[in-house]
Chains A and B, each alone.
Chain A
Amino acid sequence: MNEPILTATGLHKSYQMGPELLRVLRGASVTVQRGEWLAVMGASGSGKSTLLHILGALDVPDEGTVRFNGEEIFSQGVRAQERMRNRSVGFVFQFYHLLPELNVLENILLPAMVRYSVLGWMREGKGAREYARTVLEQVGLERRGHHRPNELSGGERQRAAIARALVNQPELLLADEPTGNLDAKTGQGILAVLQALNAQGQTIVMVTHDPSVADMAHRRVQLVEGRIKT
């Protein structure tokens, strides 16, 4: 756990909110070790989600660098960022963000389908399906694969979202308030899943404002006034 998988340095991000420039990140820097479970804490609106989005190449900083496995991700072009989002990073969102037209298994397979062309899918699709079923089992949804998201409870939807994040076997799992929309008991279940994944070596960066949730992580950092404080 002493090998950095991700290093963010001096991240700045501002949003124009009407006439006012909202400076969300003001030189935030953080390093994530391989196999580590890091919790990023902070008050609502402190920029936790923005930081997570930048770490996962879903958003671009105004200033600063993010190195993933030693490679600076924002100097490599859009294709490399898309490739990173697809293969190296898995996102888990507070509001699950599952596609309502697809069933659970199809939602989980979506990143794998983005990864492969039609011909590639003909070669690798079977393996991807088998792995998706394994992940479903891992998150306890083996009997829910053919259900649509609106037929699932909140906890089940979040498990499905975790399974989707894992289907391409990413090196880094980024979870944005994964229990924020769930009751305490269900949230504990989700944390247990993350804990099990981390125990298997999965690196996790989790954003939360809940100290009890952050307690599950190996390490916690605070985002205060746009900077990381340990």
Chain B
Amino acid sequence: MYKLFLILRYLRRRLIILLPIIAVWLCVAMVLIVVSVMGGFLEMVKERTRGLLSDLIVDNETLQGFPYYQELIDELKMELPDLVEAATPAIYNYGILRVKDYNYTKPVQVVGIRLDEFQGVNDFENALYYDRYYPGTTTLQKQQQPVSGLAESGKWLLPEEYETAFAGFRDRNRAEAAKLTPEMTSPHGVGRYRPGFAAPGFEGDPLWGIIVGTDIINRRTDKGTYEREFRRGCEMILTLLPLTQQGVISASGALTVPMRYADDSYTRVYDIDRLCVYVDFEYLQDLLDMEPQERVDGGWTPARASQILIKLRDGQDSFAARDRVTAVWKAFFHRIAPKLSPEDEMLMSRVKTETWQQRQQTYIQAVEKEKILVLILFMVISLVAVVVVFCVFYLIVSHKTRDIGIIKSVGASPWGVEAIFVAYGAAVGLFGGVAGTITGVIFVRHINELQEALAWINPNLRVWNPEVYAFDRIPTAVDGVEAAIIFVVAILASMIGALIPAIQAGRVWPVKALRYE
């Protein structure tokens, strides 16, 4: 009983004990913050990678792409109906984007997609900005610019299908809709109206739609929000460089096409949002000479795509699925190989199937290693807390030598005295650990707000650079198991710090201790 009593009493009456508690507190908070930020970063990398790619990617890693992609998709769906939920082709290429009336240019990666199918294999739907407020209005097909006009009701409104779509969003998301400003849901606010009090309608030539990465055309503010400079539906010019089947620039040379700004995408992966634009798959295929073409010998070169993205059914292991898809691919390739031209055969022989984890393996492994490395470094730094616990306990034992003698003179055992100090150390770890965990969790939850506050004081204090770290906000994830491990390690470390002074206290000879001044 005396052990518990003395621990509680010493915790209350010995102010010096605040020192190791603060040391443990800071170390636990520090390690938890580091682990949470690194873990959040890792999780975000994985989540976004999977969300923006798909479960499996079939690719030959060339700009020319590979033929017979649609036949392969059909075969996969037929052979593996229990595995494949959806699959879609995509084309990747590079180009230059120009906003027509502003002469604003950017280099871009052009992605050809079938929008509906693409949204079916990943989370792209959630990345679209206008489609959120005007659901169903984003398309990559030919379109005109929607323009506000004076409706019969006497109000300035967009064309009816847009107003209906917005009303649907408002009904489903009343709280969010109430906070929206006209600027946020442009084209309301950016202010273009049909002249002469004309009714709402559409203007301009019908042009193919383009979805643009938000960091390409919108200006990021210090607060992390975006200022929208261009009106939805405005004209953009895309310049492309078509390649032949052999990978050389087509005889037609560079190609410039007008397109209409249909939406922008905010995937939260900076490298994608600052680089990617999305156009209709078939249209891009046509522009890049990847559509079926008649050869001089009267035959046809098959259409090509850069990738096939496959979404698996729930509960499927992506690595096992990859092997099954590869097997189907091999059988398919052997079957069609005899009728392939040498160029097509070369392109198809390079095709391989990867999981989303493999696709980003180098990056994910690097981040995982970085997380472990940083964790080890901070653990080493946390040894300071152990040293502080040791020093303070050594001091306490030295100052309390006579008290230890008194306790032993009334019958306490050496083990009992040791237990007092080890348990006292555990109590230090417990209090420091609780305080550190609470502080760490609060810090992690508000880390972006804290960064904004620092940046408001001085923009140079913004520590998280989205251009370096790929994500626009500091990603965090407090893992309960990791937090519990850190907490337990803090208690154990405090006990270890207290152990040597405790043993020293246990060895105090009562007669000597009672004479101690």
Chain B residues, Cβ within 8 Å of A110: 2, 406-407, 410
For residue B14, give the distance in angstroms from its CB to the closest CB of chain A.
Answer: 8
Enumerate A59-99 residues with CB–CB distance to B below 8 Å: 59, 78-79, 82-87, 91, 93, 97-99
* Interface residue? A53 (CB, 8 A): yes
* Interface residue? A146 (CB, 8 A): no
Q: Is the CB of A99 within 8 A of B403?
A: yes
CA distance A100 to B14 in the complex (A): 11
Nearest CB in chain B to that of A56: its residue: B409
Chain B residues, Cβ within 8 Å of A115: 411
CA distance A98 to B414 in the complex (A): 19
CA distance A114 to B411 in the complex (A): 7
Chain B residues, Cβ within 8 Å of A113: 1-2, 5
Enumerate B397-446 residues with CB–CB distance to A below 8 Å: 402-403, 405-414, 416
Enumerate A96-147 residues with CB–CB distance to B below 8 Å: 97-102, 106, 110-111, 113-118, 120-121, 125
Chain B residues, Cβ within 8 Å of A164: 410
Q: Is the CB of B511 within 8 A of A59?
A: yes
* Interface residue? A58 (CB, 8 A): yes
Partner of A85, one of B5, B10, B14, B410: B410
Interface size on B, residues (CB 8 A): 24
Partner of B1, one of A79, A100, A118: A118
Chain B residues, Cβ within 8 Å of A118: 1, 4
For residue B239, give the distance in angstroms from its CB to the closest CB of chain A.
Answer: 81
A interface footprint on B1-42 (CB within 8 Å = 1, 0 otherwise): 110110001100110000000000000000000000000000
Partner of B406, one of A53, A78, A84, A99: A99
Majority secondary structure, A binding face: helix
CA distance A116 to B2 in the complex (A): 8
Nearest CB in chain B to that of A100: its residue: B403
Q: Is the CB of A114 within 8 A of B514?
A: no
For residue B511, give the distance in angstroms from its CB to the closest CB of chain A.
Answer: 5
Q: Is the CB of A78 within 8 A of B413?
A: yes
CA distance A42 to B387 in the complex (A): 48
CA distance A79 to B416 in the complex (A): 12
CA distance A110 to B411 in the complex (A): 10
For residue B329, give the distance in angstroms from its CB to the closest CB of chain A.
Answer: 69
Chain B residues, Cβ within 8 Å of A86: 410-412
From A86, A99, A114, residue with most partner B Cβ within 10 Å: A114
From B9, B402, B405, B409, residue with most partner A Cβ within 10 Å: B409
Nearest CB in chain A to that of B403: its residue: A99
Q: Is the CB of B1 within 8 A of A125?
A: yes
For residue B407, give the distance in angstroms from its CB to the closest CB of chain A.
Answer: 7
Given contacts A82-B412, A114-B2, A120-B1, is CB(A97)–CB(B407) below 8 Å?
no
Given contacts A101-B9, A117-B1, A125-B1, is CB(A111)–CB(B510) below 8 Å?
no
Nearest CB in chain A to that of B10: its residue: A101
Chain B residues, Cβ within 8 Å of A116: 1
Q: Is the CB of A53 within 8 A of B410?
A: no
Chain A residues, Cβ within 8 Å of B410: 85-86, 91, 110-111, 114, 164
Can you list 25 contacts pairing A with B, beta carbon distance less than 8 Å?
A58-B409, A58-B511, A82-B408, A82-B412, A82-B413, A83-B411, A85-B410, A85-B411, A97-B402, A97-B405, A99-B406, A100-B403, A101-B13, A102-B9, A110-B2, A110-B406, A111-B410, A113-B2, A114-B2, A115-B411, A116-B1, A118-B4, A120-B1, A125-B1, A164-B410
With A59-B510, A91-B409 given, name 12 new contacts (CB 8 A).
Answer: A78-B413, A82-B408, A82-B411, A85-B411, A86-B412, A93-B514, A97-B406, A99-B403, A99-B407, A100-B403, A101-B14, A114-B416
